[in-house]
Amino acid sequence: MSSFAILTDVTKCTGCEECVLACKVTNETGLRDTPRKWQGAATDLSSTRWTTIARTGNRHVRVHCRHCLEPGCAAACPVGALHTTDEGVVAYDPSICLGCRYCMVACPFRMTRYEWGSANPRVRKCILCYEKITGGELKQPACTAACPEGATIFGARDDLLAEARRRIGDDPNRYIDHVWGEHEVGGTSVLYISDVDLVQAGWPSQLPRDAVPELADMVLHTVPTTFVSVGMAMAGIHWVIKRRQKLAAEAAAATAAGPAAAETVTPGDEEQS
């Protein structure tokens, strides 16, 4: 499969939480959620609950890592502990993670969670059962496999986009003509179709328009140029100013020959600092 993606049809979800349970069992995050001061409510995402159901009105919206095509978290990670795999999954390698939590600040959907209670903490989030699927243990993520309603399905992103378009086309009165995740922040691998505006169901209303890493990347591209040009400029200014001081000193020596020259500031003084 070229890419890993999930399509969630909000109109089909009954909020049964079988996906939550399957995720917990598969990823061994523990079956209990006992939230502490640093987590949200028991039913919010947490380090032990990588997917959950947001309930708004009478709609149920699955919430988990959106696996952005250009993820802010992976761009933020200084060591690439969070990284995008060839399949488009945003995976995590705790062995090199510093624990700086920049990923948590950089996620536009605020999906990453942290093991605050641990002295050896890890970043926790949905990893689309990546290793279990590539290792052949699972054929699809535990959550999509567990869904009794087929409300959340697994597939290649292009196929799922086509499927989403087909469903919207088949029943235009039911669905809003929008696939959430198709273009937002440069596109995500987790797509949603719905009959209500998802902004009312926990979708961030203030998303950056472009892919998160774009602007920072532009600035970072200037780093070598900045380094070299600042260095050359400083060396140049130093040379010019020293030369002027030297010429001024020589001129002073020429006009008021003798002891006057010795009192003028001469180059080489900086060695005293």
Partner 1 sequence: MSENTATNSRLIATKAALWCLVGAAAVVVGVRYALGLGLTTALTDTTPWGMWIGFDVLSGVALAAGGFVLAAAVHIFGRERYHGIVRPAILTAFLGYLGVIIGLLVDLGRPWNIWRPVFQQNLHSPLFEVAMCVMLYTTVLALEFAPTALERWRRAQPVVRLLRRLVLPLVITGICLSTLHQSSLGTMFLLTEGRMHPLWYSPLQSPLFLISAVALGLGMVTLEGVVSAWLYRRKAEWQLFGGLTRAAAVVLGLYLVVRLVDLGVRGMLGHAVDGSGFAVLFWLELALSAVLPILLFTLPQSRGQPWAHGWGALLVVAGFVLHRADVGGISHVAITGEAYVPALTEVVTSLGIVAGLALVFLFCVERLRIWEEPPAAPDLFARTAFDPVGRQYIGAPWFGGGQRAVLALVVGAIAGVILVEAQVAVRERTRAAPVAAPKNALIVRAQNPSGPGHDFELVASSGETPFDAGVDLHPVILIDSGGAERYVLFEHEAHQGRLGGQTACALCHHRNVPLDLATSCAQCHRDMFETTDTFSHARHETALGGRESCATCHVDADAPKSRAAAKACDDCHRPPRPDATLVRATIELPAGLAPGYLDAMHGLCLRCHLQEDAAAGEPHLGRCATCHRNRFDDKDELIRRTRSVARAGGSGGPGLEEAKGMNP
261 is a contact residue toward partner 1 (CB under 8 A):
no
Q: How many residues does the chain have?
A: 273
* CA–CA gap between residue 5 and residue 154 (Å, rounded): 6
Q: Specify the residue, 156 or 261, whose C-beta has the smaller distance to partner 1.
A: 261
b/e per residue 22-34 (b: at least 16 CB within 10 A): bbbebbebeeebe
Stretch that binds partner 1, among 133-141, 152-160, 170-178, 230-238 (CB under 8 A): 230-238
Stretch that binds partner 1, among 61-69, 162-170, 239-247, 253-261 (CB under 8 A): 239-247
Stretch that binds partner 1, among 150-158, 159-167, 186-194, 263-271 (CB under 8 A): 263-271
Q: Specify the residue, 255 or 273, whose C-beta has the smaller distance to partner 1.
A: 273
113 is a contact residue toward partner 1 (CB under 8 A):
yes
Q: Report in angstroms how near the CB of residue 162 gets to partner 1 at its nearest.
A: 29
Please say whether the beta carbons of 45 and 52 come within 8 A: yes
Please say whether the beta carbons of 163 and 7 come within 8 A: yes
Q: Specify the residue, 220 or 256, whose C-beta has the smaller distance to partner 1.
A: 220
One character per residue 172-211, x = contact with partner 1 (rule: CB under 8 A) = -------------x------------------x-xxx---
* Bridge partners for 193 per DSSP: 9
Q: Scan residues 82-101 and list those touching partner 1 (CB under 8 A).
A: 94, 96-101
* CA–CA gap between residue 149 and residue 158 (Å, rounded): 22
Positive/negative CA dihedral, 187, 190, 195, 198: negative
Q: Specify the residue, 104 or 253, whose C-beta has the smaller distance to partner 1.
A: 104
Residue tagged 């590539």 (tokens): 134
